[in-house]
Every structure is written in C-alpha cells, then in structure tokens.
Amino acid sequence: MNFESVVVRIIIYFASFLAVLVSLPCHEFAHAFVAVKNGDMTPKYSGRYTLNPFAHFDMLGLLMMILVRFGWAKPVPVNPNNFRNYKLGCVTVSIAGVTVNLILAIIFCPLMMLAYKYLSFSGTSRYLQLVLYYFLSSMFYLNLGLMVFNLLPLYPLDGFRLYDALAKRRGKFYFWLMRYSFYILIGILLLGVAADYTGIAWLDIIGFIRDYIAGWIIKFWGLFIV
C-alpha cells in the first residue's frame, strides 16, 4: 500500500466521522423535537433537546459506526403518556429520525453529484477536495443506511416502535420480536461482514436495500444534473 492510498483511506475515515457527527445527532434531535411538540418535555429535562453530538453519542456505538458501519446513539428518553394524542405522538416520534435521515440524503445527493462532476481532485488542494467529496458521499449513503436500518421492525429500533404504535394488540409476534431482535441484529451484522469478505453484495441486507434506494434518488437528480 503506497503513501497516496494510505492518505485516501485516512480521508475516507475522517469524512465518514464528520458525517456521523452530523447525522446521528440530527436523527436523535428529531425524536426529541417531535416528542416535545407532542407535549412530552422529557427530552428537554434529560438534556437531549439539542444538536450537540456529545449529548447523544454512545462511544461504543460511535466506534462501531465508524469501523463496521453498524452502530447506535443513546435513545432519546420519551414518555408517551405525556402526549396530547397518544397514538399520533407515538407514530410521529417513531418516524421522526428516519424522516430527517431521508431528507438529509435527498439534499446531499445532488451536492455529491456536483462535487464529482466539477471537482478536479488534482493540484495542491486535491486532499481538501477529497475530504469534501467523501463527506458529501458519506452524508448521502450514511443517512440512507440509518434510515433503512432504523426502519427494521426489531427492538429497540424505530421500526419496532412504529409497529408497536400501529399494532392493534401485542400478540405472540410482538413478544417474539422482543425476545429475538438482538440475535437477528447480530446476524445482520455478521452477514454484512461476510459480504465484505466474499464480495456477495446481497448478504449485506442493509447495504443492498440502501443502494437500491440510492440508485433511484441518483436517477431522479440525474434528470437535473447533466
């Protein structure tokens, strides 16, 4: 591995770290913001009604996110009993984080495409240009990945909270998910690692779905960026 490839790898990790610093706090703050708007002040009292990344990060989850693209932040504490409308509050708080992730991805996709189109990646500023491009790219793909991952109906992800809010009753499947979600999540992580080593892309379930959605968003913006 030559010096140039080492520098590029460091730039990719640095840009990914910056994207995590932006994306995860936005996701968690969205939960806090919508909970407060629904009448629950718990996020404010617990110091989570903020975009300060250090208020939201779990250090192990942050490290895992950077190293293996699979991590987590500290869940925002919410008391649904304080919602003015219980069901509406539960649904809107559940989807708040992934909605912000989707919005960020849609915003950063054309910025990524324009950077790729117009940056030269040469000259004395090539490393700064690479940082910019990989940051924009990370913001696009990371936020789509966070959206897909969090929509999985597995405890304690947002998809499970949404399922809980919409379910008419808590049947056997609900409690089965409560019991086995952790093991399913570990299995998904191991499949993602296996995809990296085997080159079989579809084994990375989250990445496969993320890239499928990314393709459609890129096609959409491609209608305007020629």
Catalytic residues: 28
Measure the CA–CA gap between 8 and 109, rounded to whole angstroms: 21
Measure the CA–CA gap between 20 and 139, rounded to whole angstroms: 8
Both tokens assigned to 76 = 């925002």
Could you give the 3-state DSSP secondary structure of residue 57? strand
Please state whether 52 falls in left (phi above 0), alpha (psi between -120 and 50) or beta: beta
Contacts of 71 by beta carbon, 8 Å cutoff, 6+ apart = 20, 60, 61, 62, 63, 64, 65
Q: CA dihedral in degrees (148, 58, 8, 137; nearest 10)?
A: 30
